[in-house]
């Protein structure tokens, strides 16, 4: 992520937006269960709210500095931070009781890799488990915030079919202002 993006994703403004708008809208009623997965937590602002809803929360973060910082900050809690790639998850099949990701899919550098990540989430979820989350749609401000940054937008109108191709059922995708949310079941 570029410097502005790193700053904003740690800001009190983004924390408030996540806790007051994004998380309630995208995952408010999702039961995380005893062993949940958060893909791409970044600095962990969503993690702070999610960890009280799960018995155990594993965060998979590709950026070594972010993974190290989040791991140190949440040491001794019910959160384990694993540095790794969402397209090749270091977890056994059917481990997790739920999976979530928020505003991170557009940072995966290609549609093919995004689809690989979806297939990996499906692989590591238990049968019947939920995968929920959200991502942003485009705007002039959003594009400016991603200058010199990875940004492969996810089209909400085709995302449901992509989740189904990864093996998910009961797929729901809903567009909102500047974002979309999704929910699917293994």
More confident of the two residues 80 and 145: 80
Q: What is the pTM of this model?
A: 0.90
Q: Which domains does the chain have, with CATH numbers?
A: 3-185 (3.40.50.150)
Average pLDDT over residues 173-186: 94
Q: Which of 152, 155, 173 is nearest to 87 (CA)?
A: 152
82 band by pLDDT with thresholds 50, 70 and 90: very high
Q: Could you read off the pLDDT of 41-78 as tens digits, one per residue?
A: 999 989 999 999 999 999 999 999 999 999 999 999 99
pLDDT at 141 (0 to 100): 58
Angstrom distance (rounded) from CA 179 to CA 27 = 14
Q: Could you read off the pLDDT of 6-24 as tens digits, one per residue?
A: 666 677 887 888 788 888 8
Q: Which of 70-74, 163-167, 178-182 has the lowest mean pLDDT?
A: 178-182
pLDDT at 140 (0 to 100): 56
pLDDT at 50 (0 to 100): 94
Handedness of CA 10, 1, 181, 178 (dihedral sign): positive
pLDDT at 94 (0 to 100): 98
Q: Could you read off the pLDDT of 105-161 as tens digits, one per residue?
A: 988 999 999 999 999 999 999 999 999 999 988 665 566 565 567 777 899 999 999
Distances in Å between the alpha carbon of 145 and those of 16, 89, 90, 156, 170? 18, 28, 31, 20, 33
């Amino acid at each position: 992520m570029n410097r502005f993006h790193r700053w904003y994703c740690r800001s009190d403004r983004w924390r408030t937006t996540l806790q007051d708008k994004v998380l309630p809208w995208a995952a408010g009623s999702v039961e995380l269960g005893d062993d949940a997965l958060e893909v791409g937590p970044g600095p962990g602002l969503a993690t702070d709210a999610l960890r009280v809803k799960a018995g155990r929360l594993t965060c998979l973060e590709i950026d070594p500095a972010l993974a190290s910082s989040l791991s140190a900050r949440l040491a001794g809690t019910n959160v384990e931070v694993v540095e790794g790639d969402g397209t090749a998850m270091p977890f056994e099949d059917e481990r997790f009781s739920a999976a979530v990701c928020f505003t991170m899919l557009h940072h995966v550098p290609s549609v093919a890799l995004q689809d690989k990540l979806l297939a990996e989430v499906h692989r590591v979820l238990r049968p019947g488990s939920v995968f929920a989350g959200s991502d942003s749609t485009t705007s002039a401000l959003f594009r400016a915030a991603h200058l010199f940054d990875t940004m492969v937008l996810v089209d909400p109108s085709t995302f449901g079919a992509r989740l189904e191709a990864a093996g998910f059922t009961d797929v729901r995708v809903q567009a909102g202002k500047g974002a979309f949310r999704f929910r699917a079941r293994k």
